[in-house]
Chains A and B, each alone.
Chain A
Amino acid sequence: MTELLIKNGFVFDPLSEINGEKMDIAIRDGKIVESVSDQKAKKIDATGLTVMPGAVDIHTHIAGGEVNTGRMIRPEDHVKDVVRKTAITRSGTGYSIPSTFVTGYRYSKMGYTTVMNPSMAPLGAKHTHEELNDIPLLDKATFPLLGDWWFVLENLQKGDLAGCAQHIAWMMETTKGYAIKIVNPGGLESWGFGRNVHSIDDVVPNFDITPREIVCGLAKVNKMLNLPHTIHLHTNNLGIPGNYLTTLETMKALESVPNDGKPICHITHVQFSSFAGENWGNMKSAADEISRYINNHNHMTFDMGQIIFTDTTTMTADGPFEFTLYQLSGHKWVNSDVETETSGGIIPMHYKRKSAVNATQWSIGLEIALLVKDPWKIFMTTDHPNAGPFFAYPKIIAWLTSKKARMATLAKCHKKAQKKSLLPSIDRELSLYELAIMTRAGQAKALGLTGKGHLGVGADADVAIYNINPETLDIAKKYKTARKAFDNAAYTIKDGKVVVKDGEVVQNVDGRTIWLDVKTREQLKVDEEMKRKFKEYWTVEYENYPVFDHYVKVPEAITVKADV
């Protein structure tokens, strides 16, 4: 029995409605408990420090085929950020696509304890899990890409939602996945034939189905299966000027799905889906329109996909979008995963303050995050590494909590972008409480992770302690001090063990891989027809397709009882 007592910190735990109250947090055997014995427990003196639940990242590409291909094509990215081994940590490389171990260390250093890998081609699931196994200090889960999976398209085309649900339940077990990820619905299937879909009512080649039907169908299926997270959607026409209309249409289409006032869809990296204008010359922010819609509706959640001005690597299953980026930049690119159930592209990208488009993108992300009144609806991400590497999160925290910080950055941006930006008119500065919602509580709630994102009794003992005294430090004014504090957590506690102290990893522990064991009334029978399809169309035999139990080093299955 190990006991730990975090004494006297300012606790921010939005799910338990605790806002900066001075209190103790007791931990026994990796869980938060009511109290521990004052003599026996190891103590952490958190006087004058901010205590929050361990942070959660809802969308970060940290493992899998695309990530690894990205590493391979960018030796110049690694050479500038070489990480040496220490007595506790392993060596590796950093920057935009850090090696697996460095990913774990750097997340943990910032107080993160749970991260979601949002994009996994089902055929690449084994590889993804092998990489996830090598990411220490974090609990992880991964979302299989199912928006263009043939059995989903076939079942939706037939209108057989129950059949689709059975297939998806089988896929969660087969890929050890956690949620339904949809990228450019219909577009990936079209990309296999060198085409794309340009509106939510375009018909997908070879399947008489539209993106609208895919998204709404899967949202219904998700509900039938009672999956903890909603569908996780990367919209059509992503990254194209004028695409906010497609985003609005998609959100409106989802209104038709019954929702009981709860979210039924998560639109990820919404910044990339909120461009107005007709071309890159007159591209501008649609943050106003998008955030107005978000403020008036409750059936969706979002994450930012905030741009960071740096040299990074974009990677997405949205192959046609990456091809557009290649045509724009002429940079080296890889078209990958077309042989799997998705498509994919990787291209290096340098976001520059002096580029009007990039600076406008930067502004859009912050505008939406600040204009959306309810922090439970929008979360902080960079869509790592697409809009910037995850270890730039403290910068975003500074921009969100301090007008001074964002105006200082805006002043260095392209004149055209400065003129168009809504940021000078937004005075909102997030409090630590709101920040805790956007970085942990809200994300955990949206993911349906009941043991994460809060410090109530029974929660996993994942805690982040920062060197911020809310009584003496005004984070809006001293944003640089706050940024440093969020960069180097005073303590990160994972499952009741201190893993980071003063920004240094002090202990190595394995995180768990969370997956869904969905129990449907009738289990999918893999019939001869399905096996024939695997034999004919897949690059592996059906027998080699599933991720077997031994592939996952520390598994944590969540059992879900479905309605079908």
Chain B
Amino acid sequence: MIVLTPLKKFQFPVHAECINPDVFKGKSVKEIAALPVWEGNKKKKLSDIFKIEETPAETPDITINGDATEVRRVGQGMKNGEIVINGNAGMHLGEKMAGGKITVNGTANGWTGSSMKKGLIEIHGDAGDYLASPYRGSTAGMRGGTIIVDGNVGGDSGCYLRGGTIIVKGNAGPFLGFHISKGVIYVEKNAGGRLGASMTGGKIVVSGAVDEFMPTFTVDGIKKKVKIDDDFKAEGPFYVFLGDLAEHGTGKLFVSQPSNPQFSAIYDKYL
């Protein structure tokens, strides 16, 4: 296992896509120390900004101890192995990752798991905006794998989801699941406005209250339980909505009945 400890509090963003088990594999500490990173507009070596130590433990492959809020692109495109961050993580954590596991014992920043294909990301704090969403302008959303967030997530999370599962145990910001076509998003608490806007398929489940519900969804019925993944079913009852009709979508939106008493006056007559 390689242990990285930041040598200082970073003033500028650090681009460190080299912090990746696939890159570290088979390299000595000396070779790892020489890997290139960018700090602001300066090209540096990994050892210029991190203390690098090797410990005999097998897993996880990489541990970062300390605040890595400014360290971006950790685990980008990783295929195997495990990274643990004991502290906060920076933007684009695990972007386009295709396997392996990342654990953050702290909060994660924007674009965590952006466009990921496979693997597991666990965040034991909050996550920022654009969780699992592709870069601005792109439609290549998350295709597979799992993201679990213990805290809250920001806005525009799960956009263009095409597969995989996102589980949020706190609240979600606005535009959750914008334009998703496949996959599952589950939010244990409340979700922000424009929930599921432009969705054409897939499944969004909200156990808490919903803010500003879109008029382009049609109510289809009530369901007691909804399957999230093989081991977990969310307890309802849930209103079942279909949409987004503005996109001729066939997505399913499950919204908790008890947490949203405002819906009964509007939708109950259609049931």
Contacts and interface: CB of A to CB of B under 8 A. Distances in A.
Interface of B, helix, strand, loop or mixed by DSSP: loop
A76 interface: yes
A529 B136 CA distance: 48
A348 to B, nearest CB: 9
Contacts of A261: none
Contact of B135 (A73, A75, A331, A332): A75
Contacts of B135: 75-76, 79
A74 B139 CA distance: 11
A79 B91 CA distance: 15
Contacts of B106: none
B137 interface: yes
A98 B136 CA distance: 18
A77 B138 CA distance: 8
B200 to A, nearest CB: 10
A79 to B, nearest CB: 5
Contacts of A79: 135
B155 interface: no
A152 B94 CA distance: 57
Interface in A31-88: 73-77, 79
B113 interface: no
Interface in A294-342: 331-332
Interface in A66-119: 73-77, 79
A74 B140 CA distance: 13
Nearest to A79: B135
Interface of A, helix, strand, loop or mixed by DSSP: helix
A65 B155 CA distance: 33
A135 B21 CA distance: 41
Contacts of B136: 75-76
A77 B134 CA distance: 12
Q: Which of A73, A76, A79 has the most CB of B within 10 A?
A: A76
A75 B137 CA distance: 6
Nearest to A80: B135
Interface string B94-120: 000000000000000000000000000
A77 B139 CA distance: 11
A79 B138 CA distance: 10
Contacts of A332: 137
Interface in A425-466: none
Contacts of B137: 73-77, 332
A403 to B, nearest CB: 35
A310 B92 CA distance: 24
A414 to B, nearest CB: 22
Contacts of A74: 137
Interface string B232-247: 0000000000000000
Interface in A336-391: none
B185 to A, nearest CB: 22
Interface string B125-137: 0000000001111
A241 B158 CA distance: 38
Contacts of A76: 134-138, 140
Contacts of A75: 135-137
A79 B134 CA distance: 11
A76 B95 CA distance: 14
A332 B140 CA distance: 13
Contacts of A331: 139
Contacts of A73: 137
Contacts of B140: 76
Nearest to A74: B137
A77 B137 CA distance: 8
A77 B89 CA distance: 26
A75 B140 CA distance: 13
A143 B225 CA distance: 64
Contacts of A77: 137
Contacts of B134: 76
A332 B134 CA distance: 15
A76 B114 CA distance: 12
Nearest to A331: B139
Interface in B139-194: 139-140
A96 to B, nearest CB: 12
Nearest to B140: A76
B121 to A, nearest CB: 21
Nearest to A75: B137
Nearest to B115: A76
A75 B111 CA distance: 15
A79 B139 CA distance: 14
A83 to B, nearest CB: 13
A332 B160 CA distance: 14
A192 B78 CA distance: 50
A76 B159 CA distance: 14
B95 to A, nearest CB: 11
B77 to A, nearest CB: 12
A332 B137 CA distance: 9
A183 to B, nearest CB: 27
Nearest to B38: A84
A79 B137 CA distance: 10
Nearest to B134: A76
A1 B149 CA distance: 70
Contacts of B139: 331
Interface in A204-239: none
A473 to B, nearest CB: 34
A492 B148 CA distance: 54
Interface string B203-225: 00000000000000000000000
A76 B160 CA distance: 14
A156 B90 CA distance: 64
A76 B130 CA distance: 14
B203 to A, nearest CB: 22
A71 to B, nearest CB: 11
15 contacts: A73-B137, A74-B137, A75-B135, A75-B136, A75-B137, A76-B134, A76-B135, A76-B136, A76-B137, A76-B138, A76-B140, A77-B137, A79-B135, A331-B139, A332-B137
CB-based closest 8 A-B pairs: A76-B138, A76-B137, A75-B137, A75-B136, A76-B135, A79-B135, A74-B137, A76-B136
Given A74-B137, A76-B136, 13 more contacts: A73-B137, A75-B135, A75-B136, A75-B137, A76-B134, A76-B135, A76-B137, A76-B138, A76-B140, A77-B137, A79-B135, A331-B139, A332-B137
